Structure 1
Amino acid sequence: MVHWLSRWIQAADSYQEAHFSDARNAADLVIEYTPRALAIVRTEMPEIDSLYYQEHGSLHLEEGRTVAVTVRGIIRSKELTEHYLGGTAPRLSADLLHPLVWDAARTFWGDGYRRAAVQQACIALNAWIQERLGRTDVSDGGLMAQAFSTSDPEDGKPRLRWPGDQTDRTVRSMQSGILQYAQGCFSAIRNPSAHSSSELDESTALIQLAALSQLAAWTEQCSVVTTTSPEPPF
């Protein structure tokens, strides 16, 4: 993009500095380069309608040249920022994922098997929740439905409860939300990763690991509640 702006600016300068005999050639270049240069300018300044106007056979380029130089500077600044800082948008680093999730995924991810990395993270999360509840009779979506159920625990069926007064609206909302979120993760992430053979692109796989990390973080904050647990405060 900078290349076309520079060509337009150079043509504009040549026109303004040209002797009468060379002005037509320079004007032809300005007019030829304007559509591309203007399209680039509009990416930063959508309100700009033109880079020049004609009057009595002459091109008037002063304002257009100022705009073109300004936009060129903006684009170059963005390119330098991207080069040295990796862009201004936030980026997710894999080692910031929940340790349970990333430790399970790390080896497969490093070998380029992103779907397998996601699948292993799901397996590890499932096994961890089974271990916390002392259950091996149920797994995956069924386990999530029972682990985070809002109903009271039963014999052999403890629950994972979000901390706080269970009558509090926010606490109840968190419990219900985690239940739905956990079931969604295992329906929309775990099941496809186990039953599909197509590879995931890097961004999709990383987003899925981030989703699993959020579930792991919430699970870590939950307490195990059994039929012998003290009654929650009222």
Structure 2
Amino acid sequence: MATYSAGYLKRLLAAVERFEGLFGRWTETQVESDHIQSRGVFPTVRARDGQDRATIRGLELDVAEAAGAAARAVTVTGAQIAVAGIGVLDPIENWSLMSSPKALFTPQEVRTTAARVRGRLSTMIDEAEAASESATPGFAPSELHEVIWTAAAAHWTTHQYRVAVREASEALTVHWKACLGRNDVSDTSFWQQTLSEGEPEPGKPKLAWPGPAEDQTVKSMRGGLAPLAGALNNLATGLNLTVRNVSTHTRDELTEQEGMERLAAYSYFARLLDQCEIRRAEKPEDT
């Protein structure tokens, strides 16, 4: 079973509470009904007469944003609702369907789900805080680097550990390609060019470990260690060959332990990259 830190669960709880507040403000502008009143054909909400449409649209955008953050809590707590003929759905994520014909949810069902999620999160927070007092340190995947965990979370919580690792590894490459504007190159070539030695070329910025290139990492060892800048390229290559490629091109499922170890390796790599400097080629002076 996935383990979450108390801090992460508290952030989810805050997201749910924010959603509840904004959802409540929005429903004040609506006339509510239920499945019986709507006869399963009509929406379960409609705008009250005299309400300003621009105000309603603004509130709907606020609720949509809050729902995006709060929906993760529904997955974590397992508070989805089974809808006949449709399957298992998250009422918070799909709150806007109430305004559509044949509405799948009612406002009360959305409120009930949010309350259920809050209750379960409170219990999980108590359990996480109690566990943190144990002498044996725990491992919380949610505390991994943000890029890694954001990509992995949805698959991790459904025990698809191989897919979670694959998505996390690809997300890191996508993240840095976007940061450096390098969508013109394959993933392998991107890391080889971005972490290679030498000066950046126009349109090909590099990530480099900060500090003078001649600095040694450990001076007390014979000859010292190579600068970390040179090792990053090897680390990227090693992770891609032993983790990313394997998780992408095979269907062998990973255990939770194996998945955690691989995500942790990518998380450490991601944090090292965050410490690097982005170096770009100097623009030639106008002549």
Match of 2:184 in 1: 137
Following superposition, the deviation at residue 152 of structure 1 comes to: 1.6
Measure how far apart 1:88 and its partner are: 4.6
2-structure distance, mates of 1:218, 1:193? 22
Distance in 2 between residues matched to 1:87 and 1:139, nearest whole Å: 46
1:198 alignment partner AA: D
* 1:100-153: CA deviation from partner (whole Å, max 9, x where unpaired): 100110000011111110011011101011012210122332221111111221
- State how far apart, in whole Å, the 1-side matches of 2:186 and 2:264 are: 21
Normalising by the residue count of structure 1, what TM-score does the alignment of the two structures yield?
Answer: 0.58
Distance in 1 between the 2:197 and 2:135 partners? 42
Residue from 154, 163, 168 that aligns with 2:215 = 168
Could you tell me how far 1:176 is from its partner in structure 2? Answer: 1.0
Letter in 2 for 1:124: A
Task: Give distance in 1, aligned partners of 2:163 and 2:199.
Answer: 36
1:110 aligned onto 2:164: no
TM-score (norm 2): 0.48
**How far 1:186 sits from its partner (Å)?**
1.1
1:168 partner SS: coil
Instruction: State the alpha-carbon separation in 1 of the partners of residues 132 and 229 from structure 2.
Output: 39
Q: Within the alignment, does 1:151 sit opposite 2:198 as a pair?
A: yes
Matched, 1:127 2:168: no
**Secondary structure of the corresponding residue to residue 207 of structure 2:** strand
Code of the aligned partner of 2:253: E
User: Which position in structure 2 is the counterpart of 1:91?
Assistant: 138
Distance in 2 between residues matched to 1:124 and 1:100, nearest whole Å? 7
- Structure ID, larger Rg: 1
1:167 to 1:85, Cα distance in 2 relative to 1, 3 A: closer
Q: Provide the rounded CA distance (Å) in 1 between the counterparts of 2:159 and 2:183.
A: 31
User: Which residue identity lines up with residue 140 of structure 1 in the other structure?
Assistant: D
Residue aligning to 1:232: none
Amino acid at match of 1:153: P
Gaps of 5+ in 1: 1-83, 230-234
What is the CA–CA distance in structure 2 between the aligned matches of 1:122 and 1:138, rounded to whole Å?
Answer: 17
SS of 1:169's equivalent in the other structure is coil
For residues 100 and 125 of structure 1, the distance between their equivalents in structure 2, rounded to whole angstroms, comes to 6
Deviation at 1:89, TM superposition (A): 4.5
Q: What is aligned with 2:126?
A: none
| Aligned twin of 2:239 | 185
1:223 counterpart = 2:268: no
Aligned residues: 147
Work out whether residues 132 and 138 of structure 2, in 8 Å CA contact, stay in contact via their aligned partners in 1.
no
Structure 1 residues 220 and 85: alpha-carbon distance in aligned structure 2, compared to 1, 3 A threshold: closer
2-structure distance, mates of 1:140, 1:208: 19
Match of 1:5 in 2: none
Partners in 1 of 2:140 and 2:149 — Cα distance?
11
Q: Which amino acid aligns with 1:177?
A: A
Does the aligned pair in 2 maintain the 1:153–1:226 contact within 8 Å? yes
Quote the Cα distance in structure 1 between the aligned partners of 2:135 and 2:263.
Answer: 23
* Alignment counterpart, residue 261 of structure 2, candidates 199, 207, 215: 207
Do the aligned partners of 1:118 and 1:209 also contact (CA within 8 Å) in 2? yes
Structure 2's unaligned 5+ residue stretches are: 1-130, 218-224
How many Å separate the matches in 2 of 1:220 and 1:213?
11
Bigger share in helix:
1
Kindly, what percent of the aligned residue pairs are identical?
34
Residue identity matched to 2:196: S
Match of 1:197 in 2: 251
| Change in 2 beyond 3 A, CA 1:204/1:180 | same
CA–CA distance in 1 between the matches of 2:182 and 2:172? Answer: 13
The CA RMSD over aligned residues, in Å, is 2.2
